[in-house]
Chain A
Amino acid sequence: MKKYIQHAVILLVLAFMYLPILILAFYSFTDSTMIGSIRGFSFDNYVTLFTEEALRSMMIGTVLLALGVGILSTLLGTIGAIGAFYSKKSTRFLVEFANEVPIVNADVVTGFSVCILLIVLLHIDKSTYIPLVIAQTALCSPFVYLSVIPRLKQMDSSLYEAGLDLGCSPSQALIKIVIPQIIPGIISGFMTAITLSLDDYFIATYTKPATFDTISTYVVNATRGSQTSIKTALWALSAIIFAIVVVSVVIMNVNAKEEEERR
């Protein structure tokens, strides 16, 4: 492929991926209600975003849910990965099979099936948040498992034995020797769990309390409504999220490079 064609392909696809987000971010700093007509610059959208009660509680709720689900999935997935890694083949096969299910399954089916079990069959009240947290954890913990397992495989197993020989109890050896070696996998699993929870629409729809909204369910409802101040405040939200994602990706990349250089 000719050089200039390659640059053109990259540029075109990047434009398709980023122009909408960037244009919307630009317009979030104006007082226009539609793209294409600039009247003047203003921070009204940002003020609305952080003062309007419905928007604020939606954002706080989404973040708290993501943190809760992230922590729970990380605990379950990590402990499960360590356990399965040292278990006999049949147990590990069972775990890997069940672990694969939420990953390949459509989120609609995952959410609906947990809703049928917990809410329809077992009559657990939606407003307790229990179905929501369980369903999202069922989606997220398999991804934690998958990011921890490779770290366990890379680990030098003689270190654990050495720890035991030097007088550690098995649980001490686990906490002081195994966990520190797999911590990068745990962290990236945690990050994946958080982003999955933040991105989720379908599981939340089928299992959330009626009065609770995540960013996704709120945005979808807002597109049906006609309140323009809410609509443009969401432009501000997407600009902020875009900025946060860009900054964290840059930080992650810098860290990864440093780690590579240290080796």
Chain B
Amino acid sequence: MKKGFFDRRQLALPYVLFLLVFVILPLFVVVYYGFTDAEGHLSFANFLAFFTNMRTVGTLVYSLVIAILTTIICLLLAYPVAYILAKGEYARKHSFLMVFVLPMWINFTLRITALKEILTLLEGNLAFHPFLNTIICMVYDFLPFMIMPLFNSLAKLDNSMLEAGADLYASPVQNFLHVLLPLSVPGIVSGVTMVFLPAMTNYVVLDMVYNSTYIMGSLIGSYFSSYDWNNGSLISAILLMMIGLVTMVTNRLIGDKEVASR
């Protein structure tokens, strides 16, 4: 069988090539453009300019604030929902999760349009509360992406753990803090990664509620429209570094928990 001209391992080749050329190579090209000037000479000028300019540093801080707030609110809303669906009153109704995940499949610009109309009705003019509206729309957009991983990790959790806690006279609060919460860390971590980075870069949400303050994604968008490839690439490279860092930390957190739970 191995001697034939066809080997199933060769099937990996087209996909390996595709990933190398269209996924990995673009990242190197972006890093190269980010650290060169328009003439192609190696330069840290853009990099230094980003971290010394108050405006761009302000953008970085503003996107972090939006991302952190969005993530926390999503977590606070999603955790009780995921718990009730996985362990509470709705635990036997398996298809009920679908109702909470379904909005993921509706185009997000159309969903934000719907929410925007409601907010306009409630507030009169969206321009009065740009920050509040941004957070509401971000939470609305990303909530299903937080509920799903939380549900998956809570549903896997053995009920006897919680019962053991209660048998050993843990109060419901203690049981939550010392049993449920630590065991659901993998779900929390993957939910946070699904919300945090998109919330830092999804500048369409801000555009749609007329919030003219920039976040990191808006910078790439504006450099793109002014054909400033070097600065656009620099922002992408900075985001890449953050993504790499977050992925490393989360992989470790999830990995540790999986080892611990064995």
Q: List chain A positions with a Cβ less than 8 A from chain B.
A: 1, 3, 6-7, 9-10, 13-14, 16-21, 23-24, 27, 34-36, 76-77, 79-84, 86-88, 91-92, 94-95, 98-102, 104-109, 112-117, 120-121, 134-135, 137-138, 141, 145, 164, 169-171, 174, 195, 198-199, 201-202, 205-206, 215-216, 219-220, 223-224, 234-235, 237-238, 241-242, 245-246, 249, 253, 257
Contacts and interface: CB of A to CB of B under 8 A. Distances in A.
Interface in B117-144: 117-118, 120-121, 140, 143-144
Contacts of A82: 8, 11-12
A87 B9 contact: yes
Given A13-B81, A13-B100, A106 B30 contact: no
Contacts of A223: 113, 116, 207-208
A15 to B, nearest CB: 11
Contacts of A80: 11-12, 14-16, 18-19
B243 A109 contact: yes
A174 B8 contact: yes
Contact of B8 (A86, A109, A220): A86
A259 B198 CA distance: 35
A220 B207 contact: yes
Contacts of B113: 24, 219, 223, 234-235, 238
A219 B140 CA distance: 17
B120 A34 contact: yes
Interface stretch (B52-60, B102-110, B252-260): B102-110
Given A20-B114, A138-B22, A238-B110, A95 B16 contact: yes
Given A80-B15, A82-B8, A257-B95, 12 more contacts: A9-B80, A17-B100, A20-B117, A24-B114, A83-B13, A117-B26, A138-B18, A145-B15, A170-B1, A205-B224, A215-B110, A219-B109
25 contacts: A6-B84, A13-B143, A35-B117, A76-B14, A82-B12, A84-B16, A86-B12, A91-B16, A101-B23, A104-B193, A107-B201, A108-B236, A109-B30, A112-B224, A116-B30, A117-B25, A117-B26, A135-B22, A170-B4, A216-B108, A219-B109, A234-B113, A238-B114, A249-B102, A253-B95
A84 B17 CA distance: 12
A106 B23 contact: no
Given A106-B217, A164-B1, A170-B8, A20 B115 contact: yes
Given A17-B100, A108-B239, A10 B81 contact: yes
Contacts of A215: 107, 109-110
Contacts of A3: 89
Contacts of A224: 207
A21 B89 contact: no
B13 A108 contact: no
A75 to B, nearest CB: 9
Contact of A10 (B19, B84, B116, B217): B84
Which 9 residue pairs are nearest across A and B when measured between Cβ atoms?
A: A80-B15, A83-B12, A83-B11, A113-B26, A98-B19, A20-B114, A238-B110, A219-B109, A24-B114
A18 B8 CA distance: 47
A202 B221 CA distance: 9
Q: Which of B14, B33, B102: most chain A Cβ within 10 A?
A: B102
Contacts of A86: 8-9, 11-12
A254 to B, nearest CB: 9
Contacts of A174: 8
B121 A35 contact: yes
Nearest to B102: A249
A84 B217 CA distance: 34
Contacts of B140: 16-17, 20
B106 A242 contact: yes
A76 B17 CA distance: 10
Contact of B107 (A36, A115, A216, A246): A216
B107 A198 contact: yes
Contact of A241 (B15, B107, B197): B107
